[in-house]
């Protein structure tokens, strides 16, 4: 039986950048794509990805507004988000991190750095799931006593 693969949602409007990210990550993760902020909100709620790679400059709704809405929604608030952007100003990075981003990757992408940063976030997600399951098991054992 094959192991369940983690899901990554790429929110990006550039076909080239989508192709680069998918190429870097497709061997280890199930990939989904949204090309604007509104589609990102909808897909995040539908597929419940394990990680979102979110561009800041997007049609219809920018990445800052997307992260605000995702973090305000109890169903999506715990999904880690990495901003992927060409905006290199330190103020943009700070703003993204203050809004709840877990990391910030600047374009052009270094494939090895992207893969390592994604792997770190996914490892954290998987460890948190394990902790939650173990906590629930312990709680049920204690309730049975």
pLDDT tens, residue by residue, 91-107: 988 999 999 999 999 98
**Tens-place pLDDT, residues 8-58:** 999 999 999 999 999 999 999 999 999 999 999 999 999 999 999 999 999
103 forms bridges with which residues in the sheet?
Answer: 82
Cα angle 71, 6, 97 (rounded to 5 degrees) comes to 30
pLDDT band at 89 (very low <50, low <70, confident <90, very high): confident
- Average pLDDT over the chain, rounded to whole? 93
Distance from C-alpha of 49 to C-alpha of 62, rounded to nearest angstrom: 19
Note the pLDDT of residue 102: 96
Note the pLDDT of residue 140: 84
CA distances to 4, 34, 113, 130 from 1, in Å: 9, 30, 31, 20
Q: What's the half-sphere exposure (Cβ side, CA atoms, 13 Å) at 49?
A: 26
Note the pLDDT of residue 38: 96
Query: What is the percentage of the chain residues whose pLDDT exceeds 90?
Result: 79
Tokens of 66: 């997307």
CA distances to 2, 29, 32, 137, 142 from 131, in Å: 22, 22, 26, 10, 16
pTM value? 0.91
Of the candidates 64, 76, 84, the one whose C-alpha atom is nearest the C-alpha of residue 21 is 84
CA distances to 48, 72, 142 from 51, in Å: 9, 16, 33
């Amino acid at each position: 039986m094959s192991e369940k693969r983690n899901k990554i949602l790429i929110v990006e409007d550039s076909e080239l950048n989508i192709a680069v990210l998918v190429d870097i990550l497709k061997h280890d993760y199930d990939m989904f794509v949204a090309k604007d902020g509104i589609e990102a909100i909808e897909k995040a709620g539908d597929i419940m990805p394990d990680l979102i790679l979110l561009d800041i400059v997007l049609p219809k709704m920018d990445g800052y507004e997307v992260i605000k809405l995702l973090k305000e929604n109890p169903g999506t608030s715990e999904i880690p988000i990495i901003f992927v952007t060409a905006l290199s100003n330190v103020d943009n990075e700070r703003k993204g991190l203050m809004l709840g981003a877990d990391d910030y990757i600047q374009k052009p992408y270094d494939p090895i750095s992207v893969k390592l940063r994604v792997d770190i976030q996914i490892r954290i997600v998987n460890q948190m799931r394990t902790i939650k399951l173990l906590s629930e098991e312990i709680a049920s054992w204690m309730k049975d006593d």
